[in-house]
């Protein structure tokens, strides 16, 4: 995460000041507020935040996002969750840059399209990972999500139209299930590190993308595995958790990520062309716009990340 600086001497911060400090939109601040991640005060009609509350939140993001570099000459292993999207591909590049021997893990989980898995396979080959495993599970039997059931994917003309609640594209317990498989594989491999590309700033309000979730899962993992109770502590890293989408793309470009290989859309055409109107497309377009470059992905609709 970048180092947000709060220059105002006041102990209370406005929504706009918090937005500037975290480098996210005002609506993003309200998503954090509604999710209970930031505490606030109401002074008349104004929503205010204590400076120490924001500093505590930033410190939490940094703690969860830290990735320890392997020691020189150390051949440490890491399991990286790879969906084929922008965030997971950047996370894969970070793991490689840190010197880990990477084992990539993807899922055929009952999602409505396979284009993201095709992207994941291409990305894994391009990154020359040690092994790429695709696991078959079927979260679609439960339904409950626009990504696994016959529910329309929400479309928007702009980012401003995206609501603050948890959207229909949330897949119940998906990250918990995915991390459980990663935990099992890491124990078999003898890997002490799992990397996941969740993000708590420019995200869609998913409860399993928050710092406290990752921290809680790591605590559970270290109680639940033979390797951990015998002294080999497991770390779950979320290196993107405190970054905006623009910062994620900037980091990936520094590492040589080819974002033309990635796929992010929730509702692509049968040919795999992004819709340009779902929340994921808008956030992706916003990130490229912040870097002043064009998204290499093709779109059905030319959407503006407003």
**pLDDT, tens digit, for every residue of 224-235?**
999 999 999 999
- In the chain, what percentage of residues exceed pLDDT 70? 88
Residues 272 and 92: their CA atoms lie apart, in Å, by 22
| Angle, CA 302 vertex, CA 296 and CA 303 arms, to 5° | 100
Give me the pLDDT at residue 5, please: 46
Tell me the pLDDT tens digit for each residue of 23-69: 776 777 777 776 667 777 776 678 888 888 888 877 777 777 777 66
Task: Write down the mean pLDDT value for the chain.
Answer: 86
Going by pLDDT thresholds of 50, 70 and 90, the confidence category of residue 9 is very low
- pLDDT value for 1: 43
Name 274's bridge partners: 299
Q: Hunting for tokens 């830290």 — which residue is that?
A: 66
> What are the tens digits of pLDDT across the range 89-121?
999 999 999 999 999 999 999 998 889 999 999
DSSP annotation of 208 reads G
**Which value, to the nearest 10 degrees, does the dihedral of the CA atoms of residues 118, 122, 128, 130 take?**
10
Cα-based distances in Å from 197 to 51, 153, 224: 28, 22, 23
CA separation for the pair 300, 213 (Å, rounded) = 35
* Sequence-ordered strand ranges (E) for 3-100: 12-14, 41-43, 46-50, 77-81
Measure the CA–CA gap between 278 and 272, rounded to whole angstroms: 14
CA distances from 221 to 31, 102, 214, 225, 230 (A): 28, 20, 10, 6, 13
Residue linked to tokens 């893990």: 105
Q: What is the pLDDT of residue 154?
A: 85
Taken in order of first residue, the domains within the chain and their CATH numbers are: 12-64 (1.10.10), 71-257 (3.40.50.620)
């Amino acid at each position: 995460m970048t180092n947000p600086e709060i220059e105002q001497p006041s102990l209370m911060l406005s929504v706009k000041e918090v937005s500037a400090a975290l480098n996210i939109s005002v609506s993003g601040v309200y998503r954090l507020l509604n999710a209970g991640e930031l505490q606030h005060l109401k002074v008349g009609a104004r929503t205010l935040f204590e400076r120490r509350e924001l500093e505590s939140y930033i410190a939490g993001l940094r703690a969860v996002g830290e990735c320890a570099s392997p020691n020189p000459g150390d051949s440490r292993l890491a399991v990286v969750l790879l969906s084929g999207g922008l965030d997971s591909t950047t996370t894969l590049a970070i793991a490689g840059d840190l010197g880990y021997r990477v084992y990539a893990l993807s899922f055929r989980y009952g999602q409505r399209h396979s284009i993201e898995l095709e992207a994941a396979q291409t990305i894994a080959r391009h990154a020359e990972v040690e092994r790429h495993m695709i696991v078959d599970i079927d979260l679609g039997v439960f339904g409950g999500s626009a990504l696994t059931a016959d529910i329309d994917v929400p479309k928007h003309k702009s980012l401003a139209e995206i609501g603050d609640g948890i959207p229909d594209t949330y897949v119940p317990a998906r990250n918990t299930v995915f991390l459980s498989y990663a935990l099992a594989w890491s124990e078999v491999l003898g890997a002490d590190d799992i990397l996941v590309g969740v993000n708590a700033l420019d995200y869609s309000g998913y409860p399993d993308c928050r710092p406290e979730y990752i921290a809680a899962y790591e605590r559970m993992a270290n109680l639940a595995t033979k390797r951990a109770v015998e002294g080999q502590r497991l770390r779950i890293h979320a290196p993107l958790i405190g970054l905006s989408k623009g910062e994620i793309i900037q980091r990936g470009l520094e590492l040589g990520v080819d974002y033309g290989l990635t796929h992010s859309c929730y509702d692509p055409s049968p040919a795999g062309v992004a819709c340009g109107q779902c929340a994921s497309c808008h956030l992706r377009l916003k990130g490229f716009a912040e870097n002043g470059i064009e998204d290499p992905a093709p779109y059905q609709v030319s959407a503006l990340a407003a």
